[in-house]
Amino acid sequence: MRAAAERRGRRPRVLYTDLDGTLLGPGGSLFAGSSGVTDAAASALTALHRAGIEVVPLSGRTEEQVREVARLLGATSFIAELGGIVWMGERIARYGAHPGPGTPYEAMARSGAVAFLLERSAGRLEPHAPWAFRGREVTMLLRGHVDPSEANTSLAEAGYGWLRLVDNGQIPVPGPTDVVHAYHLAPEGVTKADAVAEHLRRRGLHAGDAVAIGDAPADAAVADHVDAVYIVANGAASVEAAGAGRENVYVTPSERGEGFAEAVALLLEAA
């Protein structure tokens, strides 16, 4: 990845932003920075609205959770459950390769795939409680520290090839601990990147009209469908380790909301 300041491009029409670890700081607060209270992200959001740039939350959170954040941010579209739900005046459920009946979450519960993963990764993977059990429809939410590529190979070999484990970024854990990431078990074809592509298509926009800001390999993959992706500093290591960087993926100097604000400042400077 290159430094954010190296990018030179035109001002976008739409900005997709991850929430936790990107726009939002510790505790999920818009005003929590790495070293205390900050209004950097809030000020950047104000500048985006004044510039007429559409802000679209793009998150692994549930539809209900993202809908409420979108309302607070003044966003009229949002993407939830890692791309499984797109809202843009109508609700678009993107279930991917799930075999049915019912929702992908229900199909996963019936299949035994999660039990298989937890047993295979004992001590390294667990449900991301309590959020794993609240209102999910498309993905199952886990946490720990595993290699998603190895997990996906094991899933396929065990007959769960319709599922993928996706790294959605590092999460803060109090006290001394190993690095902990949030993972989503999702049907093949359910990704943030594909949801962004669908949102752009339905809006009649093109890759050159959009940028994204995030903190995880799942966010970096959006680079295939937008002009550029900015990864905030706290997500750089996981994106590099996953080999998810592209030529149009850039890293900000600062973490979380401050990094979001740095990316926005660069975008607003563009012609």
What pTM was computed for the model? 0.94
Q: How many domains does the chain have?
A: 2
H or E segment to which residue 236 belongs: helix 236-241
- Is 99 a member of any domain? no
Tell me, what CATH number does 54's domain have?
3.40.50.1000
Q: What pLDDT sits at residue 53?
A: 97
Q: Do 244 and 172 lie in a common domain? A: no
Banded model confidence at residue 175, pLDDT cuts 50, 70, 90? low
Give exposure, 94-123, as e/b (b: 16+ Cβ within 10 Å). Answer: bbbebeeeebbbebbeebebbebbbeebee
Q: Do 177 and 61 lie in a common domain? A: no
- Do the beta carbons of residue 21 and residue 256 sit within 8 Å? yes
Of 171, 187, 203, which one is at a domain's C-terminal end?
Answer: 187
pLDDT (tens digit per residue) in 2-44: 888 888 788 999 999 999 999 999 889 999 987 889 999 999 9
Longest dimension (CA), the chain: 53
Give the count of alpha carbons within 13 A of 68, CB side only. Answer: 4
Banded model confidence at residue 107, pLDDT cuts 50, 70, 90? very high
Q: Taking residues 240-244, report their average pLDDT.
A: 76
